[in-house]
Amino acid sequence: MNGPAPAGPDKDRYLGRTTMKNDPFVERVALRWADLDVNGHVRHTVYYDLGSRMRMKVFADSGLTMQDMRDDHCGPVLFREECRFLREVHLDDPIDIHLELLGMSRDHRKFRFQHRFLRGDELCATIQVDGAWMDTRTRKIFVPSQRVRDAMDALPKAEGFDWL
């Protein structure tokens, strides 16, 4: 779903989980003055921060809270986080972040997320993240709990989703 977020009752459908399983999670972001660099563009680190916040929100919306992760001694770790900047983004630009699962191992141990930053129909930036689930006690990568696996299965799959 591209373009500005609708007003009224459709707003909740747009700014969060949509009704179709493979529709991306979408959130409109409000940029702050502190998010800008000296050229008046959004700083590169802001994209990474927004991506991280979006992933945690999507986990929570899928039924996996930070407390659940602590209870299961499980946390996401990143191996690669790559941003491509395609268009300038300024303070007043309405930006929607679309998040989808681009890949996952069949045992749910590894994952790959795709974030797309859109201004209307215009793709401004992308982030691709490769990560895995870590046992926070042993500090080793492991197959996560059933609760985590269920949440991962509920995430929308991107076009081109592939098993890792």
pLDDT at 22: 72
Strand partners, 104: 111, 163
What does the block give as tokens for 32?
């702050």
pLDDT at 100: 96
pLDDT in tens, the chain (164 residues): 334 444 443 434 334 443 346 788 999 999 999 999 999 999 999 999 999 999 999 999 988 999 999 999 999 999 999 999 999 999 999 999 999 999 999 999 999 999 999 999 999 999 999 999 999 999 999 999 999 999 999 999 999 999 99
pLDDT at 137: 98
pTM: 0.84
Q: 10-163: what fold? A: Thiol Ester Dehydrase; Chain A (3.10.129)
Torsional sign, CA 43, 44, 47, 48: negative
Cα torsion through 149, 154, 159, 162, rounded to 10: 10
pLDDT at 39: 93
Could you state, in order of their start, the residue ranges of all structural domains in the chain? Answer: 10-163
Torsional sign, CA 6, 12, 17, 18: negative
Q: What are phi and psi of 144, to 5 degrees?
A: -75, 170
pLDDT at 11: 39
Note whether 133 and 159 are within 8 A (CB). Answer: no
pLDDT at 21: 60
Going by C-alpha positions, the residue among 31, 84, 75, 35 that lies closest to residue 55 is: 75
